[in-house]
Structure 1
Amino acid sequence: MVEARQSPNPNEITALRTKLPPQPGNTGRWGQTSQDKTWKYLCLFVSLTLLLVVIISSVVLSEVLKRTKQMQKEVFQLKEKVSQGLGDAGHDRDFMRGEVFRQMKAVLAGNETSCEPCPLGWKVFQGSCYFFSPDKLTWTQANDSCVQKQAHLVVINSRTEQDFLTSTGQVTSWIGLFKEGQKGNHKWMDGSTPTYINWDSKELHDNITAPACMLMHSYGHWSDFSCELGRFAFICERRQNC
């Protein structure tokens, strides 16, 4: 008589499986192998490293661009100073050359009065002739009037010259100084920058946004005014012929 085979108990099978060690390729409880976890950690590390590199590169690049712009600005300013210095040097050279020429002519003539006298109605001071016009004109009109007289609006180079002009008792008058807009530099008619200034402390001459021209008040101080809106007297200057 054949003995009937007894079916295994399901609880025993489950208990036996839990005691068995994980087999190769077993996905474990969460469906992941150890190799998968290693790759994930490696990818996370590489991603964080790349992100850090990108952040550092952005900061460094931003700083480099900032320094480059600053250096370009400094180079531009240096070029402007050099150009202005060359212009001023040329102006001073021409002035000194004229003075030497006049002195040589005076010595050769045997006296110091070999220069031609200033035209009638003009005043002489240190080798220049000055015309004090009472006509009320705009700055542009005043400059054109001086050009017609073979002169230019006065260029004031020293305190001595300023004192001479003030001593004449002239009313508020245009002088040959101007600037191009609020950020522009002040220039004389001959293209040189002022080596002597006599700003009116009560005036905020840097706040005018439009191109501005300079007035000399009767007490000697200077201030800005719109070139075309005001009408004032003016002073012309030209060198003596020697």
Structure 2
Amino acid sequence: MIINKNKETERKCLIIYLLNPSVMLALINISCLMFLPEKTCASGWRMFSCSCYLLSEKTGSWDEGRSDCRDRGADLVVIDSSEEQDFLVSFTQKQTWIGLNDKEEEGRWKWVDGTPLTSLTFWSPRQPDNGGEDPQWGEEDCVHIRTDGNTLWNDRSCRNSFPWVCEKIP
């Protein structure tokens, strides 16, 4: 009876351990190294986890950024973890477009790969606010990482001009 109880406890602990986001990211990184050892990023791109990232040297609208990324066989970055968010903040060090928008329906945020925004978010305080109903800001349907002392997300007009970050699998 005690042996069965211990095995059940061990099984529950293992499940909790494997569901830990940090452990899952580590397992993904290990599987990247095991199964993609020959994969590297092209010149100018930087590897993190299993993806390659490129910070654009020019600025433009969100749509221009997305078009540029697609021309490179990539897309605007989709942020899947706090580790990836931290990497992007240290990598970019300036305001940059990311692949999140609510262009189709106000308040329904979707990534460029079609996945909806989940509970993992990095919004600045009081964001998103769609311009706070202030006509000078207009519709704010696209998302960028801020750098004004807070490196979190903010919604802005898709016409604003920022650099962007592209992401692709090598």
CA distance in 2, matches of 1:104, 1:204: 34
Question: Unpaired runs of 5+ in structure 1?
Answer: 1-98
CA distance in 1, matches of 2:32, 2:48: 19
Q: Larger Cα Rg: Structure 1 or Structure 2?
A: 1
Q: CA deviation at 1:186?
A: 0.2
Q: CA deviation at 1:133?
A: 0.9
> 2:106 corresponds to which letter in structure 1?
K
Q: Does 1:132 align with 2:55?
A: yes
> 1:159 corresponds to which letter in structure 2?
S
Query: Residues 89-238 of structure 1: matches in 2 within 5 Å?
Result: 103=31, 106=34, 113-114=37-38, 116-180=39-103, 183-195=106-118, 196-206=120-130, 207=132, 210=139, 212-218=141-147, 219-228=150-159, 230-238=160-168
Distance 1:151 1:182, change over 3 A: closer
Root-mean-square deviation (Å)? 2.6
Q: How many residues align?
A: 135
Runs of at least 4 residues of structure 1 off by over 6 A?
none
Q: CA deviation at 1:194?
A: 1.8
| Identity percentage of aligned residues | 31
Q: CA deviation at 1:168?
A: 1.8
CA distance in 2, matches of 1:213, 1:125: 24
> 1:237 corresponds to which letter in structure 2?
E
Deviations 1:9-28 (CA, angstroms, capped at 9, x unpaired): xxxxxxxxxxxxxxxxxxxx
Question: Unpaired runs of 5+ in structure 2?
Answer: 1-27
CA distance in 1, matches of 2:94, 2:33: 36
> 1:234 corresponds to which letter in structure 2?
W
* 3-state secondary structure, aligned to 1:144: helix
Q: Compute the TM-score of the two structures, normalised by the length of structure 1.
A: 0.50
